[in-house]
C-alpha cells in the first residue's frame, strides 16, 4: 500500500473549468475496478489519514480486509477535506474518506456524490480553546472578536465553526476565521497565539489537553455532545464516491463496503489498545499511551453497520442551510436520497 501527500494542487482549476451534471461520472484515471480478473483497483483519498475520525481507512488496510476482498486499494492523504473532495471531482481518486456534508454541498453545485459507507453519525471533533483564553471564551457565545481556527476554507470544520457561532448569536463577520490546518500546525497556532480557539480532532485533542495548552470547549465526540451543539446527530466520517462511478462499478463498491463494515465491527468489538497496536507506530507521535487515549475518547463515534441515520442526514441539511453560501439558497431543492445509499452495506454478510 502506498500513502502519498496531497494530490490536490491544480484541482481547483479543473473544478472551475468543467461543470458536471447531476450524476455525471468522474474520470476513471486507469483505476476503473471494472475487470473481473485480478484485484479490483481503487484510489481513496483520506482527509487526514492520521486523524482518528478517519481511522477505518488505514485500519482496514492493516487488518488485511481490502486484500481479503480481492481489492488493490491505494490510500492517499490530503489534510483538508475541501481539497480531498476536489481530487474526487477531478477524477484523480475514486473515493474519499471524509465528511458526509460534502455530498450535500456538491449537489447544490450540480454534482452527484454519495456516501456508500457511513462510518459515524457524529463529527468526532471538538472546539478547543487555548488555556490562556479559557477565562474569556467559555462558550460559542463568546466567539465575538476571537480568532477561530479550522483546517481550511470550505472544510467541514469551517462549516461547523460558522454554525456554532451563528447558532449562539455571533455572526461570521464578528470573528476572525483562520486556516490553521490540523495536527502540529494547529497546535503551533494555539502556541503562538495565531488562534484563540479552533476545531480539531484526535489525536490533536488529546495532545492539547495532555500538555495543558488547550481545553475542550464543545465536545462533538459523543452523541450527547453533538445533540447539544448541533440540535441532533450529524453524520460525518464516510466513504463517499461519484454516483456515476458507483453505478458502473458496483462489484468493486460492494467489496469496499464489505471491507469497511468488517472494520467497523472490529472497532466495536476491540479495545483502544488493541486497535492502536494494529495502526502504524508513527501515528503515535505523541506517545503510545496518548494515542491509545485519543482512540478511546473517539471510538464511540463509529457505528457497526455502515448505515446512514436518515434523521441525521436531514439535520446536516438544516445546519448547512443556515449559513453555507452554496446550500442556503438551494436547501429546498436538495434531494437527500441522492447523497447516500445503503444498497451496499445492506448486503454485507
Position 14 scores a pLDDT of 37
Residue 34: band (very low, low, confident or very high) from pLDDT cuts 50, 70, 90: very low
Cα–Cα distance for residue pair 85/6, rounded to 1 Å: 12
**What is the C-alpha to C-alpha distance for residues 134 and 217, in angstroms, rounded to an integer?**
8
pLDDT value, residue 286: 85
Q: How confident is the model at residue 81 (pLDDT cuts 50, 70, 90)?
A: low
- Cis amide prior to 208 (ω within 30 degrees): no
287 DSSP 8-state letter: -
39, with CB counted inside 10 A (0-12, 13-18, 19+), is: middle
b/e per residue 193-226 (b: at least 16 CB within 10 A): ebbbbbbbbbbbbbbbbeeeebbbbbbbbbeebb
**Which residue from 291, 105, 266, 289 is spatially nearest to 183, judged by alpha carbons?**
291
The proportion of the chain whose per-residue pLDDT surpasses 70, expressed as a percent, equals 88
Q: Which among 288, 286, 258 is positioned nearest to 273, based on CA atoms?
A: 288
Is it the case that residue 302 has pLDDT exceeding 70? yes
Task: Indicate the DSSP class of residue 238.
Answer: E
Nearest to 320 by CA among 55, 57, 64, 103: 103
pLDDT digits (tens, 9 = 90+) for 61-78: 999 999 999 999 999 998
Which residues share a beta bridge with 219? Answer: 126
Find the helix or strand (DSSP H, E) in which 57 lies. helix 55-63
- Structural domains of the chain in order of their starting residue, each with its CATH number: 11-121+235-268+303-347 (3.40.190.10), 125-221 (3.40.190.10)
Please report the pLDDT score of residue 80 as a whole number. 66
Three-state secondary structure along 307-345?
Answer: CCCHHHHHHHHHHHHHHCCCCCCCHHHCCHHHCECCCCH
Amino acid at each position: 500500500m502506498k500513502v502519498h501527500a496531497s494530490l490536490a494542487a491544480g484541482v481547483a482549476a479543473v473544478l472551475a473549468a468543467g461543470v458536471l451534471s447531476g450524476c455525471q461520472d468522474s474520470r476513471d484515471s486507469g483505476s476503473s475496478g471494472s475487470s473481473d480478473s485480478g484485484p479490483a483497483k481503487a484510489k481513496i483519498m483520506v482527509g487526514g489519514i492520521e486523524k482518528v475520525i478517519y481511522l477505518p481507512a488505514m485500519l482496514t488496510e492493516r487488518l488485511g480486509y481490502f486484500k481479503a476482498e480481492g481489492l488493490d486499494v491505494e490510500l492517499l492523504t490530503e489534510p483538508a477535506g475541501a481539497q480531498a473532495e476536489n481530487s474526487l471531482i477531478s477524477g484523480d481518486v475514486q473515493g474519499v474518506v471524509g465528511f458526509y456534508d460534502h455530498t450535500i454541498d456538491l449537489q447544490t453545485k450540480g454534482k452527484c456524490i454519495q456516501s456508500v459507507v457511513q462510518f459515524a453519525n457524529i463529527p468526532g471533533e471538538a472546539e478547543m480553546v487555548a488555556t490562556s483564553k479559557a477565562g474569556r471564551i467559555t462558550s460559542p457565545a463568546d466567539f465575538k472578536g476571537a480568532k477561530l481556527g479550522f483546517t481550511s476554507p470550505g472544510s467541514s470544520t469551517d462549516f461547523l465553526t460558522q454554525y456554532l457561532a451563528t447558532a449562539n448569536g455571533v455572526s461570521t463577520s464578528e470573528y476572525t476565521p483562520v486556516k490553521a490546518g490540523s495536527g502540529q500546525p494547529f497546535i503551533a497556532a494555539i502556541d503562538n497565539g495565531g488562534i484563540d480557539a479552533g476545531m480539531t480532532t484526535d489525536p490533536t485533542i488529546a495532545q492539547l489537553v495532555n500538555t495543558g495548552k488547550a481545553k475542550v470547549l464543545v465536545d462533538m465526540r459523543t452523541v450527547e455532545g453533538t445533540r447539544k451543539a448541533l440540535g441532533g446527530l450529524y453524520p460525518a466520517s464516510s466513504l463517499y464516491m461519484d454516483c456515476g462511478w458507483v453505478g458502473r462499478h458496483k462489484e468493486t463498491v460492494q467489496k469496499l463496503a464489505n471491507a469497511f463494515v468488517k472494520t467497523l465491527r472490529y472497532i466495536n468489538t476491540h479495545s483502544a489498545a488493541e486497535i492502536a497496536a494494529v495502526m502504524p507506530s508513527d501515528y503515535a507521535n505523541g506517545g503510545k499511551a496518548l494515542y491509545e487515549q485519543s482512540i478511546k475518547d473517539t471510538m464511540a463515534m463509529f457505528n457497526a453497520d455502515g448505515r446512514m441515520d436518515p434523521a441525521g442526514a436531514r439535520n446536516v441539511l438544516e445546519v448547512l442551510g443556515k449559513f453555507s453560501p452554496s446550500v442556503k439558497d438551494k436547501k429546498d431543492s436538495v434531494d437527500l436520497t441522492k447523497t447516500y445509499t445503503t444498497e451496499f452495506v445492506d448486503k454485507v454478510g
